[in-house]
Amino acid sequence: MFIPHTPQDREEMLQKIGVSSVKELLAQIPQDLLYPVLDLPRALSEQELSAHVRALAARNKPLKNFIGAGIYEHFIPAAVQALSSRGEFLTAYTPYQAEASQGTLQTIYEFQSCICSLFDMDVATASHYDGATALAEAVLACLRITGRKEILISAALHPHYKEVLRTYVRHQPGVCVKESPFGADGALDLAALEKNLSAQTACFVLPTPNFLGCLERANEVAARVHQAGALLTAVVNPLALGVMQTPGSYGADFAVAEGQPLGNAMNFGGPGLGIMTAKKAYMRQLPGRIVGIAKDKNGRRAFVLTLQAREQHIRREKASSNICSNEALCALNAVIYLTLLGPQGLREVAELNLERAHQLAERLEKLPGFKRKFTAPFFNEFVLECPVPAKQIVRKLEKKGIGAGYALGADFKGLENCLLVCATETKTEADLQAYADALGGI
């Protein structure tokens, strides 16, 4: 497939090389291993492939989705996909030859700028694989900067982020990860935090909203963390920042996020868009690509990959990370989305999320036996305590075509009856009522 050579082309090429067959070119390979049996299935034509893949897609059952927990369903304006799927963006490589890659480079610069402004942070990278790996790499930077060995995280951090973080730091000599608990209201227990912070703490990882949907008193957390001489790494929802206080405003040293809510489809959770930002002082500790403004030799503005001496292709084993790509296309979706919405549109969509989730919570709390588990303020998701195990609710509502939420029992002891429920701007009044009716009917 996709090979253009005619027999005549091939003949001429072999002649030029000075061999009589392609096999002659493969003399370097152990000949007894050549051409193994692969047992591949029959090759499909494009038409057959299309039918086959559409049939697979049809095997997925569409649900009215009330699940959040790190990946969110949002409305994506048509222009996002229309622009980012242009071959000029889609089939370009990493912008190594800057002069012939100004398009990609400028979009990344605009992405970094929009993210810095949205987060109120000094610098942002061109992006990382996803929110979890961005967090892990930010924490590695905190270890390098402080020279301390203890990582303190909120117990209400996304369970996947916890696992990825532990994977990334497991082999750092002497490093340990500790959790600081949340209180009865679902937000951090500040007294416990104070106790858990020490002169060994390299950084505190503060998710807000946390995995339980609760917003944190970030200023009070930041004061305590910095008091201990530790760094603060915030994990936020970038769409929520349309209305919510920014990591920069409470003095976060690093702030990371899963950028998928900004113009990227759910895609079963991948690809994601790891957003990584920092204070200026830590600029050279950031892993991965960064684009900067430069001048060409005629003094015109140009964009270029910069601060590259941090990276693996120069530092090899001494690099701050092995990363050598970014999620450029996902970052492009995000910057197109932010450009279309502007500050006003982003505020509107964030307010719609707030409103829908609060309307849903209000309706569900009216059902007998159901109540909101935590009292801390929330953005677009909240924990619903049910009269029966949440897993059962999920199963029953699936039969009614509803994705009810994320059952918390597997990750949080004591929350077996608790369901993390999300409502974004994609849910109409009727959808909210349908959910309430379905829940009331079981």
Partner 1 sequence: MEPILKHNQLSLEKSRPGRRGVRFTPAQHPAQTYLPQAYLRKEAPRLPELSEFETVRHFTRLSELNYCLDGEFYPLGSCTMKYNPKAYDVLSALDGFTQVHPFAPESSVQGTLEMLYRFEELLKKVTGLAAFTLQPAAGAHGELTGILTARAYHDARKDFKRTEVIVPDTAHGTNPATAHMAGYTVINIQSAPDGCVDKEALQKALSDKTAVVMLTVPNTVGLFEKDIREIADMVHKAGALFYLDGANFNALAGLVKPADLGADLMHLNVHKSFAAPHGGGGPGAGPVGAAAHVAPFLPKPRVEYKNGKYTLQGKLPKSLGKMKAFYGNMAVCLRGYCYLRQFDDATFKDIAENAVLNANYVRAALKGKFNAFFDRTCMHECVLSINPAEMNGVHTSDIAKRLLDYGFYAPTIYFPLIVPEAMMIEPTETESKQMLDAFVAVMEKIYDEIHIEPQTVKDAPHTQCVCRIDEVSAAREPNLRW
Partner 2 sequence: MHTEENCRFAKTHEWAHVEGDIATVGISNHAQEEISDIVFVDLPKVGQQVTAGQNCCVIESVKSASEIYAPVSGEVVEVNTALANDPALVNREPHGNGWLFKVKMTAPAEYENLMDLTAYKATLKK
Q: Would you say 216 and 208 are in contact if contact means Cβ atoms under 8 Å apart?
A: yes
| Cα–Cα nearest to 252, from 278, 272, 229, 213 | 278
| Range in contact with partner 1 (rule: CB under 8 A) among 104-112, 193-201, 226-234, 434-442 | 104-112
Contact between 112 and partner 1 (CB under 8 A)? Answer: yes
| Contact with partner 1 (CB under 8 A) among 7, 297, 368, 430 | 297
State the nearest-atom distance from the C-beta of 229 to partner 1, in Å: 25
Q: Measured from the CB atom, is 29 or 388 closer to partner 1?
A: 29
The answer for residues whose C-beta is within 8 angstroms of residue 83's C-beta and 6 or more apart is 89, 332, 336
Q: Does 281 bind partner 2 (CB under 8 A)?
A: no
**Contact partners, residue 199, CB within 8 Å, separation at least 6:** 148, 228, 229
Angle at 107 between CA 106 and CA 112, to 5 degrees: 95
For residues 232 and 222, is the Cβ–Cβ distance under 8 A? yes
| Residue 41 sits in the site that holds partner 1 (CB under 8 A) | yes
From 309, 324, 388, 410, residue interacting with partner 2 (rule: CB under 8 A): 309
Tell which one of 157, 234, 257, 311 touches partner 1 (CB under 8 A): 311
**C-beta separation of 288 from 326 below 8 A:** yes
Q: How many of the other CB atoms lie within 10 Å of CB of 162?
A: 20
Rounded Cα gap, residues 435 and 115, in angstroms: 34
d(CA 278, CA 268) in angstroms, rounded, equals 29
Cβ–Cβ under 8 Å, residues 145 and 194: no
- The one among 318, 344, 399, 430 contacting partner 2 by CB under 8 A: 318
Contact 141, 254 (CB under 8 A): yes
- Residues near partner 2 (CB under 8 A), total: 7
Does residue number 430 form part of the binding site for partner 1 (CB under 8 A)?
no
422 and 72 in contact (C-beta within 8 Å)? Answer: yes
Cβ atoms within 10 Å of 433's Cβ, excluding its own: 13
Asked if 322 is part of the footprint of partner 2 (rule: CB under 8 A), the reply reads no
Q: Does 82 bind partner 1 (CB under 8 A)?
A: yes
Residue 327 makes contact with partner 1 by CB under 8 A = yes
Q: Of these, 268, 368, 413, 430, which contacts partner 1 (CB under 8 A)?
A: 268
To partner 1, the closest distance from the beta carbon of 195 in angstroms equals 24
Dist CA 301 CA 181 (whole Å): 50
Q: Which stretch binds partner 2 (CB under 8 A): 103-111, 173-181, 306-314, 414-422?
A: 306-314
Complex with partner 1: residue 345 or 440, whichever CB lies closer: 345
Q: Look up residue 255 and give its two tokens.
A: 């702030």
Site membership for partner 2, residue 219 (CB under 8 A): no
**Least CB distance from residue 234 to partner 1, whole Å?**
14
Given partner 1, partner 2, none, residue 227, with its beta carbon under 5 to 8 Å by kind, binds none
Please tell me whether residue 280 binds partner 2 under the rule CB under 8 A: no
| Near partner 1 by CB under 8 A: residue from 12, 176, 227, 387 | 12
Q: How far is the CB of 307 from partner 2 (least distance, A)?
A: 8
Q: Which residues contact 63 (CB under 8 A, 6 or more apart)?
A: 398, 401, 402, 403
Beta carbon nearer to partner 1, 79 or 184: 79
Residue 57 in the binding site for partner 1 (CB under 8 A):
yes
